[in-house]
Amino acid sequence: MPQLFFALSLIALALMLAVVWQASAPAWKTYQREFHRLEAVGEPNALTKNAMLTTPLDIRQVLLPGLQRVDRCTTCHLGVEDPTMRNAPQPFTFHANLAPHLPARFGCTVCHGGQGLATDQQNAHGKVEFWQEPLLPREYIRASCGRCHKEGEVPGVPELAEGRRLFETQGCRGCHKLNGVGGSIGPDLTEEGAVRRFPEWLARHFLDPNAVSKSSPMPNFHFTKEQARALTFYMLSLTSEQMGTYYSSVRLIPSAGYGRQLFVEKNCIACHTIGGVGSKSGSDLLGVTKQHSSGWLDEQLVNPQLVYPGSSMPEYDLETNARKAIVTFMASATAEDARSILAGRAKPLTAQEAAIEAGKQNFARFGCVGCHGIQLQGGVPNPNSQGGEVPSLLHASDDYTKQEVIKIIQNGKAPPVENSKKPAPPLYMPSWKNVLSEEDINRVADYLWSLQKKRDAW
Amino acid sequence: MNPIRDAWQSIFRRDPLSTDKGKSELVFLNVWLHIHPAKVKKENLKVKHTFYLGFITFYLFLILVTTGVALMFYYRPHPPQAYQDMKDLEYVVYLGTFLRNMHRWAAHGMVICVFLHMCRVFYTGSYKRPRQFNWVIGVFLFLLTLGLSFTGYLLPWDQLAFWAITVGTNIGSYAPLVGGRIRELLLGGHSVGESALLRFYVLHVAVLPSVMILLTMVHFWRVRKDGGLSRPVWKLKAESAAKVVTIGAPAEPAFRVVPASKDKTYGLMEVVTGKPIFETVSAEEEEDTVFSYPYAFFREAIALVATVISVMAVSLFWNAPLEEMANPVKTPNPAKAPWYFLGLQELVSHSALLGGVVVPALAVLALVAIPYLDPNPSRRPADRKWAIRAFAAFAIVNVVLIIIGTLFRGPGWALVPPWVHISGAE
Amino acid sequence: MNRRTFLNWGTAGIAALCAGVAVSLAAVVRFLTPSVFYEPPQMFKIGNAADFSFGPPTFLAEEKIFVFRDREKGFAIASAVCTHLGCTVGYFQTDGRFHCPCHGSVFGADGKVEHGPAPRPLEWFEVTLARDGQLSVDKDRVVPAAYRLMV
């Protein structure tokens, strides 16, 4: 009996030592030692050299409290800010073109993905079960720019703006919700970039939805490779994490270039003048930053009515960062800027053209293409309806009056049934009167009729 | 004048351990040991009579308290941080993973050991007079163990935890009239959220452990007061057995003074008349006893060390599960309750009323009532065939349902053999 | 088994157990020692030399330091934490001294205590030039008041 007790006690001691031994030599310590050795190689000063070699080994981390992120990548990737490590092997390689996105302020995982909390390679790179954000492949990393830069063109990443344009014009919202707006046939895409970061899957999905997701109701839009790539970039950038807000609340500098872009995009020159150049209805903006504090200007951009009751300036839903950028642009804007902005603007549309254009936009945005086809050719199978397909809209003006079409859009319509004994056709025209205003519906009808005119002309 | 010796003797004021008086005083002059008798029956030390399951359960509880307090230093009971703290334990806290593993595996072990202990007590008939009330306390300790395990299950705040608690609390909400109310009270809301996490945390680290400790104290006290660990009395020599006195059937003299032996001291407070509560020791039986020191203590120490090294060994090689962070909009398929509730979930999948209300309520009621409803005074297995069969059926059905729920239920709660790999929906 | 062997094995077992407990206790102390800090790092970069003007020191509120830049002497970093009870001192351009708002301690431009209950002069931290050209401050390394970094 006492022998048993002794043996068990020995085993307990041995197990405790094994536990301590297992925890004693994490891989990151090996990496840190190796880095300090590399670092000391080129150092002429013996004292500094010694200090480098004896640097205490510890876990380094970047705290991003507003984002609930902690990035410990720099525990091993020690050379990211050290230009002498340009040719060092990974994980020590210098990160070129980093400024102004320094890891100490921005962390790493917001762009690269991966598991910032982890301190061993496999887990940190996130290619493990139960981590939804694995490292992005190199060619997709730039998609992450769109997680903060949600408006305008991001220099060097044309895919983002193109992807956003495709999303808004191809009727994706007809089936998918984004930030609370859109249909509910397909999955909500608000978090798409946060939960499904598998770019290869997304790219193949856009080329042919059924190839990767069998029996997906999503129609094949016959995107080109470039378009699929652009949409993949845009998808990867979608997240509800308030990154832009967080970074602008720390020390991100909103550039004047971004501000100018917004100025063009929001068409400010339609009302305002800069140094007397432009339309005359709004105030002149030359030197506006000298007349008012930046806080006042920010307030003005958030809610113009609050600052000037009765102001005719509309409210623009701008992020903090975007407002700062506009104010920065204002500080440097001159009459010359106004002239070049005006020169870049397209010829204004006539009222009729504008109505048709708006109808086309509505048609695309609200997902009509999902059933009626991108070329309005119809043809989506609808078993047991007369004809067996969703009808084409190219000949709407032949078969109906404009009033009848408007009624159908307003109230919806069940397709005529082929055989009443079989199950009812799965697709039907939903009622749009709660989604689209009467004016919007009239414009869609205008758009359909405009197609008719084109045919006549031909 | 020897201050060091004085100090020592002020702490340990007993005779040398080489004397019988010293051995006795070691036990009853020590606050931690005096729950033991100075001498124990040899029968009681035999492994095959108890398997030391009560001790092992208690040791697992000690491990849980120790590791649990350690883990509390690194845990914040609030949604995103709670999960982040799990990751910190895994990646940066020294031995964090190991301690969490120990806590997790010891908790599962305790649920199993409490159940096995209950089976042992049932099969030896040890719930019978005069131990009825201690059995009832034992049932409550079993329920508390489940409660502690269940509340602890939510704390990592990962998908596994979130959905297990969602499913588990919904099983409870099937109770008529009060079910929904209880669930709301437990969760502090209509679904598992940050207030649920806080409530579960408080229950897990303060409320339930306190009740557990109190009831454990009563349980141990009653073990002594009900006559120590029960023994297979029918195996004693015929003449000794004849002299064993039990309440209800007192032998001729209801009160008998056993002459004191030379090397034993008795501190007799008062002599009162009345019947003794439990099996008394006859003079002959004296020979069947040994001093607790060292015989009982040694065995208990071995059980303790064996329990600790088992938990350590398991924790060294298997990590406690941690899935992705809890996501209320993404339900895993299938969503399963903690394994010890999977029997109930299995029943609920067939009939909500049966699995959620009738069966658990009847099971608990039956367990509590067993000692008062069992009319058979005999503890001899040969006299209790039906009791043993009934309890075996209860235990086996329980285990089988849990095994089905754990291993044989796939997406959509469909029956799937465990070896079929379930590929992801994508 | 006789008593002696019993006790010998038992004692050996208890010794092994005590060793195990000792290792565990050491491990617990190590467990409780934080390996990461949820606070701003002690060593950080404050930007390029050109970002700082000559003349009165620049106060960095988050880091609680004053950055001195002198045309001849170069850079020096003073702690803004009063050595008395830890309040944040302010630099007064009018008299060129540091004043503590809590208990009226006054420190000279060189950090020496001139008035009030502060027991020690303000601390000065090491500032070095990192390899990417930024100034790097290490609050764990206290240097003499005369320490300067010439850029």
Q: Is residue C150 part of a domain?
A: no
C20, A16: Cβ pair inside 8 Å?
Answer: yes
Q: CA B121, CA B374: separation in Å to the nearest integer?
A: 14
Q: CA A247, CA A237: separation in Å to the nearest integer?
A: 16
Please tell me the predicted confidence (pLDDT) of residue B283. 53
In chain C, the residue whose alpha carbon lies closest to the alpha carbon of B73 is: C32
Distance between B83 CA and the closest CA of chain A, angstroms: 11
One domain for residues C93 and C131: yes
DSSP H helix total and E strand total for chain C: 1, 10
Q: CA C77, CA C65: separation in Å to the nearest integer?
A: 6
Please tell me the predicted confidence (pLDDT) of residue C89. 93
Contact predicate A417/A424, CB 8 Å: yes
A8, B309: Cβ pair inside 8 Å?
Answer: yes
Distance between C53 CA and the closest CA of chain A, angstroms: 19
> Which residues of chain A lie closer than 8 angstroms to B302, CB-CB?
1, 4-5, 8
C17, A13: Cβ pair inside 8 Å?
Answer: yes
Residue-wise pLDDT tens digits, A301-312:
887 777 777 777
Neighbours of C114 (CB within 10 A): 15
Q: Is residue C134 part of a domain?
A: yes
C-alpha angle B333-B336-B342 in degrees, rounded to nearest 5: 145
C30, B294: Cβ pair inside 8 Å?
Answer: no
Of B118, B133, B120, B123, the residue nearest B277 (C-alpha): B133
Out of A103-107, A345-349, B329-333, least confident range: A345-349
One domain for residues C60 and C97: yes
One domain for residues C103 and C58: yes
C-alpha angle B380-B384-B387 in degrees, rounded to nearest 5: 140
**Hey, do A142-244 and A255-344 end up sharing a CATH topology, with the first three levels equal?**
yes
* Cα B344 off chain centre by: 20
What 3-state class would DSSP assign to B282?
A: coil
Give the B:C interface size as CB pairs under 8 Å. Answer: 24
- CATH class, domain A351-457, is mainly alpha
What 3-state class would DSSP assign to C143?
A: strand
Q: For residue B425, is it left (φ>0), alpha (ψ between -120 and 50) or beta?
A: alpha
Match 């086996």 to its residue by tokens: B396
C32, B88: Cβ pair inside 8 Å?
Answer: no
Match 């005069």 to its residue by tokens: B130
C38, A59: Cβ pair inside 8 Å?
Answer: no
Identify the sign of the CA torsion A178, A179, A183, A189: positive
Q: Spell out the domains of chain B, with CATH numbers in brackets.
A: 35-228+290-330 (1.20.810.10)
Match 């109808």 to its residue by tokens: A359
C16, A3: Cβ pair inside 8 Å?
Answer: no
Paired sense of beta strands C97-99 and C43-48, if any: unpaired
Task: Tell me the CB-side half-sphere exposure of residue A187, using CA atoms within 13 A.
Answer: 12
Please tell me the predicted confidence (pLDDT) of residue B277. 62
Q: Is residue C38 part of a domain?
A: no
Contact predicate A254/A321, CB 8 Å: yes
Q: Concatenated DSSP letters for B290-318?
A: EEIIIIIHHHHHHHHHHHHHHHHHHHHH-
Please check whether residue C33 touches A, CB under 8 A: no
In chain C, the residue whose alpha carbon lies closest to the alpha carbon of A13 is: C20
Give start and end residues of each alpha helix (H) in A240-389.
Answer: 243-249, 256-265, 288-291, 294-302, 304-307, 320-332, 335-344, 351-365, 369-372
Residue segments in chain B with a per-residue pLDDT below the cut of 50: 237-239, 241-242, 244-251, 253-254, 423-426
Average pLDDT, chain A: 82
Of B385, B368, B384, B366, the residue nearest B376 (C-alpha): B384
Backbone angles phi, psi at C106, to 5 degrees: -125, 130
Q: Concatenated DSSP letters for A393-442?
A: STTHHHHS-HHHHHHHHHH-BPPPBS-TTSPPPS--BPP-TTTS-HHHHH
C31, B92: Cβ pair inside 8 Å?
Answer: no
Judge whether residue A72 has pLDDT over 70: yes
- CATH class, domain A255-344, is mainly alpha
* Cα B149 off chain centre by: 12
Please tell me the predicted confidence (pLDDT) of residue B308. 97
Distance between B52 CA and the closest CA of chain A, angstroms: 15
What angle separates helix A46-53 from helix A27-41, to the nearest 10 degrees? 170
One domain for residues C50 and C22: no
Contact predicate B38/B292, CB 8 Å: yes
Nearest to B92 among C17, C32, C36 (CB): C36
Please tell me the predicted confidence (pLDDT) of residue A6. 92
Interface test with C, best of A6, A61, A101 (most C CBs within 10 A): A6
Q: CA C144, CA C151: separation in Å to the nearest integer?
A: 19
> Which residues of chain C lie closer than 8 angstroms to B294, CB-CB?
6, 10
Of C48, C78, C84, the residue nearest C66 (C-alpha): C78
One domain for residues C55 and C27: no
| C-alpha pair distances (Å), B240 with each of B243, B283, B288 | 5, 9, 11
* Cα A374 off chain centre by: 24
Q: CA A326, CA A336: separation in Å to the nearest integer?
A: 17
Distance between A121 CA and the closest CA of chain B, angstroms: 11
Interface test with C, best of B67, B71, B92, B93 (most C CBs within 10 A): B93
Residue C145 has what DSSP assignment? T
Q: Concatenated DSSP letters for B183-197?
A: HHHHHTSSSSSHHHH
Q: Is residue C149 part of a domain?
A: no
Contact predicate B326/B79, CB 8 Å: yes
B73, C32: Cβ pair inside 8 Å?
Answer: yes
Which chains have 3 or more CB–CB distances shorter than 8 Å to chain B?
A, C
A83, C16: Cβ pair inside 8 Å?
Answer: no
Q: CA B102, CA A344: separation in Å to the nearest integer?
A: 68
A82, C14: Cβ pair inside 8 Å?
Answer: no
- What residues of chain A have any CB closer than 8 angstroms to a CB in chain B? 1-2, 4-5, 8-9, 11-12, 15-16, 18-20, 22-23, 59, 68, 70, 72, 115, 117-120, 123, 130-132, 195, 201, 213
In chain C, the residue whose alpha carbon lies closest to the alpha carbon of B96 is: C31
3-state helix, strand, coil in chain B (%, to 5): 65, 5, 35
One domain for residues C56 and C130: yes
Integer-rounded Cα Rg, in Å, for chain C is 26
Of A101, A195, A97, the residue nearest A145 (C-alpha): A101
In chain A, the residue whose alpha carbon lies closest to the alpha carbon of B90 is: A118
> Which residues of chain A lie closer than 8 angstroms to C132, CB-CB?
81-83
Q: What percent of chain A has pLDDT over 90?
A: 19
Residue-wise pLDDT tens digits, A114-154:
999 999 999 999 888 888 888 999 889 999 988 888 777 78
Of A71, A53, A67, A260, the residue nearest A155 (C-alpha): A260
What 3-state class would DSSP assign to C29?
A: helix
Interface test with A, best of B99, B158, B309 (most A CBs within 10 A): B309
ipTM: 0.85
Query: What total of structural domains would you count in chain C?
Result: 2
| C-alpha pair distances (Å), B119 with each of A288, B50, B342 | 84, 10, 20
Q: CA B380, CA B153: separation in Å to the nearest integer?
A: 40
One domain for residues C25 and C71: no
Of B120, B119, B123, B104, the residue nearest B60 (C-alpha): B104
Please tell me the predicted confidence (pLDDT) of residue C77. 94
Of A188, A194, A220, the residue nearest A206 (C-alpha): A220
Residues β-bridged to residue C48:
C134
Instruction: Please report, as a single letter, which amino acid is at residue B255.
Output: F
Q: CA A108, CA A130: separation in Å to the nearest integer?
A: 20
Please tell me the predicted confidence (pLDDT) of residue A251. 40
> Which residues of chain A lie closer than 8 angstroms to C130, CB-CB?
81-82
> Which residues of chain C lie closer than 8 angstroms to B99, CB-CB?
31
C6, A72: Cβ pair inside 8 Å?
Answer: no
Judge whether residue A353 has pLDDT over 60: yes
Match 């030391």 to its residue by tokens: B52
Q: CA A90, CA A312: separation in Å to the nearest integer?
A: 57
Interface test with B, best of C17, C24, C31, C38 (most B CBs within 10 A): C31
Q: CA A331, CA A297: separation in Å to the nearest integer?
A: 11
Integer-rounded Cα Rg, in Å, for chain B is 25
Q: Is residue C151 part of a domain?
A: no
B298, C30: Cβ pair inside 8 Å?
Answer: no
Residue-wise pLDDT tens digits, A365-379:
777 777 777 667 776
C31, B99: Cβ pair inside 8 Å?
Answer: yes
Please check whether residue A16 touches C, CB under 8 A: yes
Interface test with B, best of A3, A5, A184 (most B CBs within 10 A): A5
Which chains have 3 or more CB–CB distances shorter than 8 Å to chain C?
A, B
| Whole-model pTM over 0.80 | no
In chain C, the residue whose alpha carbon lies closest to the alpha carbon of B95 is: C31
Interface test with B, best of A74, A130, A201, A216 (most B CBs within 10 A): A130
Q: Is residue C69 part of a domain?
A: yes
Backbone angles phi, psi at A318, to 5 degrees: -100, 145
**Domain at C112, CATH number:** 2.102.10.10
One domain for residues C53 and C113: yes
Residues β-bridged to residue C126:
C138
- What residues of chain B have any CB closer than 8 angstroms to a CB in chain C? 70, 73, 88, 92-96, 99, 294, 298, 305
pLDDT 10s digit of each residue in chain C, 151 long? 577 887 788 889 999 999 999 999 999 999 999 989 988 888 888 888 877 778 788 888 778 999 998 888 889 999 999 999 999 999 988 888 999 989 989 999 889 999 889 999 999 999 988 888 888 999 988 999 888 888 7
Please tell me the predicted confidence (pLDDT) of residue B250. 46
Backbone angles phi, psi at A430, to 5 degrees: -75, 165
Q: CA B182, CA A116: separation in Å to the nearest integer?
A: 39
Interface test with B, best of A64, A68, A120 (most B CBs within 10 A): A68
Architecture of the domain defined by A142-244: Orthogonal Bundle (1.10)
Residue-wise pLDDT tens digits, B355-379:
778 888 899 999 999 999 988 888 8
B91, A15: Cβ pair inside 8 Å?
Answer: no
Query: Which helix (H) or strand (E) covers residue B60, if one does?
Result: helix B53-72
Burial B172-195, CB ≥16 within 10 A → b, else e: bbbbeeebeeebeebbeeeebeee
Please check whether residue B233 touches A, CB under 8 A: no
Residue C75 has what DSSP assignment? E
Contact predicate B193/B165, CB 8 Å: no
Residue range of the domain that includes C66? 43-143
A117, B84: Cβ pair inside 8 Å?
Answer: yes
C35, B94: Cβ pair inside 8 Å?
Answer: yes
Q: Where are the domains of chain A?
A: 28-124, 142-244, 255-344, 351-457
Residue A42 has what DSSP assignment? T
